A and B are shown apart, each in its own frame.
Chain A
Amino acid sequence: MSIQEDVEALKRIPLFAKVEPAKLKLMAFASERAQYQPGDLLFHQGDTADAAFIILSGSADILVETENGPLRVADVGPGAFVGEIGILMDVPRTATIRATEKMTVLKITKELFFRMVTDFPSIGIEVMRVLAQRIEHMNVQLREAVAAKK
């Protein structure tokens, strides 16, 4: 697996689609590529957040701890950018992520992420765009839910 393939994989992720390839290469070079076996945890709810992850291949469950044990709230697959809430807001992990199949991820440490955003504002803008889309998406869902209730 060479760094060039990582760059190709990053390009396919919407968040980084518009970022120059040279920057992506730097990011790929500076981040750690890690393999997870099924059942391995990327992180556990309540852990300190030290990194975000870009899933290059494989999939994982997002679990939230409840009184009745862990509850699966979503799943994520290749191209997903996860764990960013913890490092952006500096809060402990809000959920647990567990690999459901063999996964390859790029681990982007908090320091690296902020460095990239400060040094290359284009990445920051992309992050904002993705987050804004997410809010918009939630607003739509909220409106639909309110409408359904009426």
Chain B
Amino acid sequence: MEPKLFKYIWRHSWRDQIPILIVVVIAQVMYLVSLDLPKRIVNDAIQGKAFQGKALADFLKFTLPLPDFLGGSVQLFSGFQLDQLSYLLALCFSYLFFVVLNGWLKQTVNTEKGRLGERMLRRLRFELFDRVLQFPLLQFRKVKQAEIATMIKDEVEPLGGFIGDAFITPAYLGGLAATALLFIFMQNMSMGFVTIGMLAVQIVVIPKLRVKILMLGKQRQITARQLAGRIAESVDGAIEIHANDTSNYERADIVHRLGRIFQIRFELYQRKFLVKYINNMLAQTTPFLYFVIGGYYALKGQFDVGTLLAVISAYKDLPSPIKELIDWDQQRQDVQIKYDQVIEQFTPPGMLDPRLQHIDNENEIAPASVRLERVTYHDESGAALAEDISLEIAPGEHLAIVGGNNSGKEAVAALMARLVRPFSGNLRYGERDLLDLPESVTGRRFAYLGDETYLLPVSLEENLLYSLKHRPLREAVYEGADLSAFERRLYETKRAGSPTFDYFADWIDYQGAGVADRAALEERVRALLITVEFEEDVYQFGLRGRIESTNRNGLAEEFLKARGGVRARLDEPQFASLVEPFDPEHYNRNMTVAENILFGTALDATFAPESLATNAHLSSVLNAAEVTGDLIALGQQIASTMVELFADLPAGHPFFEQFSFISAEDLPRFQQLVTRLQRTGLDAATAEDKRRLIALTFPYIEARHRLGLIDDTFEDKLLKARKQFRELLPKPQAQAIEFYDPARYNAAATVQDNILFGRLVYGQAQAAQKVGAVLSEVIDSLSLRPQVIAVGLTFNVGAAGKKLSFAQRQKAGLIRALLKRPQLVILNNTLSAFDEASQRRLLTGIRADLKGAALVFITHTAALARNFDRIVVMQSGRIVETGRPAELDRVNSKFQVLLGAPEPVG
């Protein structure tokens, strides 16, 4: 990148800078003209100097004053003859015109400056990110992601503000200062020299004082960045902190850092104001010199007082542009330092050649042998991890590399995957140098998988298809307003010098995946899910997932069919008592009282459990159904039961949290309430008492809590409330709840809840398993499994895929690698999350799927290597044995030793 910030700015923005400079000059002229007008309004129009006895005066008469030898003055425009009042109005409107014009020009300049700055900021940020993508992989061990993010996000931000002013401000302020200075010189030469002298002192001294400030600024930037990195570490290492009780150690670290930052910032502050003070002092000293020197000459009669006053008033205009110029210079150095800092971090040695990532590169290569020729690799400390490795892997060959810890087998994998560069020796693919192949070839035709796969916090499906998104293949279709918005975006993208690939285009490479279209791709994904034994998990995600839009391929209708099927099966005698269906006409004893009344899924906080007690609609419905009194009585019974059961327990006893309707701290209040109501009867209860008692009934489930409190009449009343709750629901709240309707799909509920459409009955042994089996059976009989899996694939895997288990992440990684149908696959301890038997099963499936692709499988578990085409045994960074399994199956071969007793760790 360009090391000089100014060159960088000028190179990329001169086309925008020059028009703005021109407008600034025009605005300046306009400004001067508008300054002159008030004087003319007063003098010429109001006091009538332009008339001097005449009735009319010339307005807008332009004369070009040429010397006589060119023919004298030439009249360009004869103007208008106006009387005094019209003349006044004409001048006043001219004044207004210039004021408006001047304001508009200023606004234009500011807007343009802003756009220019933002464009440059965008360019700079993109270039930095672009460089991150070209970092050598080893660099990622050295940098902290939070620091990189802070640099791209925060540290370059002030640059955006500065870039707009980079050229315009010095030009503008410099112009002003030069004018004033010129004026002073015109008044008196010696005064001019005095002024220049003082300015020179300011210009020389102030920057010297600022050197330390700039240094501090640099430190401030670095410490702040490290703070960001350190905070990110605390977040990432949260488990370790809690597991080792090191939270106070962490606190101490942050306190120390904040203290350091405080020191730096405060010192910066002090110095800044000191410099400001000195700067002001110097500026004020100049008039002192004027008075002394000018006064001396005036007394001597060599200088008239009027000139002295003129000089002083001109000088008053001078300091502010000069000061601002000095400020600007300070800002310039500040951003230059920031820029240097950032650039330094983004220029690590060994950056990838950008050509390797060019989007139009070749993306095919004929299958060929991978050859390692006397390859040696040392790590950063100089320890040899792989030494003098020569190895050839034929197309389609399945090779296993086995060895203990520190045998160097991982290094060989990393070399082949180009994660590290060899110290010496050659790596070839056929006749080509492996290291020179563009990523469009290696990324599409080869697959490398370590033991951890990085997953993005998006849906599982997008994560699996990630390996197919190399370039935009089918443009997104935009229409109407979207199209013009797209074109505007595109224009700006080009102006900022960023590549114009559309993120919203279809990037999926069906051809690369060996399929014809989307449907075939989905089928392929399902097949791979089965191959890597991930299908059941995704099916479960699907059951617990929600359909995002109800119309997705008519999915809702299909699941509704399953609802009918499951109902029919559950009506069979052996399942009869397992599920209580959602029936609008019946009270459901396995749902809470509140759920029975709402009879739907709350979509937001309006009908969330904690806000029900105060919901006006609910309480009016309860009143209308004449069930309020029963609920209060029920609440009283629950309260007295809870008091009876839990009164003896100490507060904080786990039973409260697990079983009680009333928290430990609320219990005494309910105890009082129960005692009081026993004495006075329910009629004496206050409105607040009643509200609290009703709230107590909401989570009550008859089948689970078994207090035997809800009888048939009570149920009927609650059903009436249910009906009215729905019928009388105010319009604005209609969006807050989706009701259970046997004929409709409830998009707010999970797929499983929709199909089951009922509650598991409490206290039925193994109900969940039995019902799950029925569910599966029905789904399979209707061939809905793919649809459930499609829903499961929308499961969001969370930050870094942490919502998946380690084993699930490895499986997702395998699918991602296999989906692109690579011709060379390197699996580096990839199946480490599984036991040996599972690894064997998975390997068989994976190898069958490879269809002629070469496979390099690196593993600690020698037994897994047995049915590979060829086995390489490594020890201490060297290949010690190579051969077909049959050849190595002899007594005392190194392979046999590995099989028998694994090499000691270390």
Contact = CB atoms under 8 A, between A and B. Distances in A.
B645 A29 contact: yes
A115 B644 contact: no
B900 interface: no
Contacts of A111: 654
A26 B646 contact: yes
Interface stretch (B499-507, B713-721, B738-746, B760-768): B760-768
Contacts of A4: 708
Interface residues of A, number: 22
A37 interface: yes
Contacts of A65: none
Contact of A40 (B648, B654, B655, B765): B765
Interface string B645-685: 11011000111001100000000000000000000000000
Interface in A27-54: 28-30, 32-37, 40, 42
A22 B763 contact: no
A29 B655 CA distance: 10
Contacts of A25: 644-645
Interface in B20-42: none
B359 interface: no
Contacts of A28: 706
A34 B764 CA distance: 5
A1 B645 contact: no
A115 B658 CA distance: 12
Tell me the dominant secondary structure on chain A's binding face.
helix
Contact of A34 (B653, B654, B658, B765): B765
Contact of A35 (B646, B648, B763): B763
A5 to B, nearest CB: 8
B706 A2 contact: yes
Contacts of B189: none
A34 B763 contact: yes
B667 to A, nearest CB: 14
B763 A33 contact: yes
Contacts of A6: 706
A71 interface: no
B707 interface: yes
Interface string A8-36: 00000000000000100110111011111
A143 B724 CA distance: 74
Interface string A106-138: 000001000100010000000000000000000
A4 B706 CA distance: 8
A22 B765 contact: no
A30 B655 contact: yes
B645 A35 contact: no
Contacts of A36: 765
A1 B577 CA distance: 14
Contacts of B648: 22
A26 B655 CA distance: 9
Given A22-B644, A22-B645, A119-B649, A29 B705 contact: yes
B659 A37 contact: no
B768 to A, nearest CB: 12
Given A1-B706, A34-B763, A37-B574, 11 more contacts: A2-B706, A2-B707, A3-B705, A3-B706, A4-B708, A22-B644, A30-B659, A33-B763, A35-B577, A35-B764, A119-B653
Interface of B: 574, 577, 644-646, 648-649, 653-655, 658-659, 705-708, 762-766
Interface of A: 1-4, 6, 22, 25-26, 28-30, 32-37, 40, 42, 111, 115, 119
7 contacts: A3-B706, A25-B644, A29-B645, A32-B762, A35-B764, A40-B765, A115-B654
